[in-house]
Amino acid sequence: MNLKDIQNVFFIGIGGIGMSALARYFKFIDKNVAGYDRVQSPITDGLVERGIEVHFEDSIALIDEAFHSKDDTLVVFTPAVPETHSQLGFFRKEGFQIKKRAEVLGLITKDTFCFAVAGTHGKTTTSCILAHLLKECGMPITAFLGGISENFGSNFLLEGTAFSVVEADEFDRSFLHLSPDVACITSMDADHLDIYGDQDELHKSFRAFAGKLKSGGTLMVRNGLPLDGTTYGIEDEAEFIIENIEIEHGTYIFDLVTPTERLKKVRFNQPGRHNLLNGLAAFAMAVQAKCHPHRLAEALDTFKGVQRRFSYQIKENDLVFIDDYAHHPTEINAVYQAVTEMYPQEEVTAVFQPHLFSRTRDFADEFAKSLERFTVILLLEIYPAREEPIDGVNSSWLLGKIKNPNKKLIGKSDLIKEIKKCKTKVLVTMGAGDIGLEVPRIKKELAYAS
């Protein structure tokens, strides 16, 4: 398929973070763009503001006449869309060109110098940091991000087309559609077992992704992962290393050691050792584009973060409210490490919304151990996303596994009331479902109360 011949692009699931970045890209290059999503959200509102038509009912009648031309219309869908979807069925029956988001990303980036960030955790933050570093170094990049960069105020950046930055998503083996020049694998923890079955199959997929590198490409690998590549780590035997870490007013200060030099007193403002690793991975990748290491180190200091990745909503002396996308036990552990490192003397209330019945079932014991470390745990019902309920798998069942008496199952309508009851100085909300939509309301109520 030649994308130059496409005039119309219709997205099924346009409100997804990755899908919306693609929609913005096609709108930017003057294509006619529209789409469907199940619910209205700040993301869909932003698309509408850009002149992209979005509707929220799965009705063939709502597909504009302009998108009925098979010869110059591309349909993009997300794997989360069910096979019973009427609009998807219509386009298939009529023989339209239909592709998954990852396939389209592969087409867009195949003729660029492509940076691809893979891993079960850290993809979004690492790719956002990388895009920021490359932009600050004046590189002509296009970036498709899985989160809203605080530096750009967007999940999409177009500064040029010679270089591209993409997240390489392991879900549904999507990343196998990419052919990167520089790739990074941040982590390979078991996840998406509804797709892979077991961790061995997941690892096979990551090895297959590593094999998709263009000839002469570079693979960056977090030290300790079972893959060959250029390694990075914290106080470790790796090729890119962070050493001599200090914390000063919530900022990390450290030495960054490359294969050729030591950069002293580098500053980075994102809490958590996991974020240090993300920053180091992005730095090591950017070096491969011949960016000057000292300029990259300066740019690390000006990275502002990613929405819903240890995102400070309130940061006062008597109240701290942090929101995070954490939806896997490893990610919850990373949030706990970061918050207790920054606030070692404080009690912490955690609000968690589990994401997917299958993930909750597969990692119930690990979720319980991760959550019970917090002072108080407020648990919401499972956000189902693309799944049907699984018998016996619910938040009440998960709550019973948590060995901490300060726990409670709550509904969204009681969220503010229960948070206020806790009276802890530090509050963390976590989850990949619609808990993010509750954050502005929580922030407003807590700010008003204080």
- Measure Cα distances from 320 to 273, 443, 446 in Å: 19, 10, 10
Annotated binding site for ATP: 119-125
| Residue 306 resides in a domain | no
Q: What is the chain's pLDDT, residue by residue, as a tens digit (450 residues)?
A: 678 889 999 999 999 999 999 999 999 999 999 999 998 998 999 999 999 999 999 999 999 999 999 999 999 998 778 889 999 999 999 999 999 988 999 999 999 999 999 998 899 999 999 999 999 999 999 999 989 999 999 999 999 999 999 999 887 778 899 999 999 999 987 665 566 567 788 888 899 999 999 999 999 999 999 999 999 999 888 999 999 999 988 799 999 999 999 999 999 999 999 999 999 999 999 999 999 999 999 999 999 999 988 899 998 889 999 999 999 999 999 999 999 988 988 999 999 999 999 999 999 999 999 999 999 999 999 999 878 999 999 999 999 999 999 999 999 999 999 999 998 999 999 999 999 999 999 999 998 765
Tell me: do 221 and 81 sit in the same domain.
no
Burial grade of 167 (CB within 10 A; 0-12, 13-18, 19 or more): buried
Residues 125 and 176 in one domain: yes
Domain termination site, one of 70, 100, 130: 100
Shared domain for 84 and 118, answered yes or no, is: no
Domain identity same for 75 and 141: no
- Using the 3D structure, point to which of 274, 301, 328 is the last residue of a domain: 301
SS3 sequence of 415-450: HHHHHHHHCCCEEEEECCCHHHHHHHHHHHHHHHHC
Residue 36 lies in a domain: yes
**Residue 225 shares a structural domain with residue 319:** no
Q: Are 96 and 39 contained in the same domain?
A: yes
The CATH number given to whatever domain includes residue 262 is: 3.40.1190.10
Answer yes or no: do 394 and 440 share one domain.
yes
Side-chain half-sphere exposure of 444, counting CA atoms within 13 A: 5
Do 22 and 118 fall within a single domain? no
- Domain residues for the domain of 257 are 110-301
Please check whether residue 141 lies inside any domain of the structure: yes
Separation of alpha carbons 434 and 430, rounded Å: 10
Q: Are residues 258 and 317 in the same domain?
A: no
Residue ranges of the binding site? 119-125
Domains identified in the chain, total number: 3
410 within 8 A of 379, measured Cβ to Cβ: yes
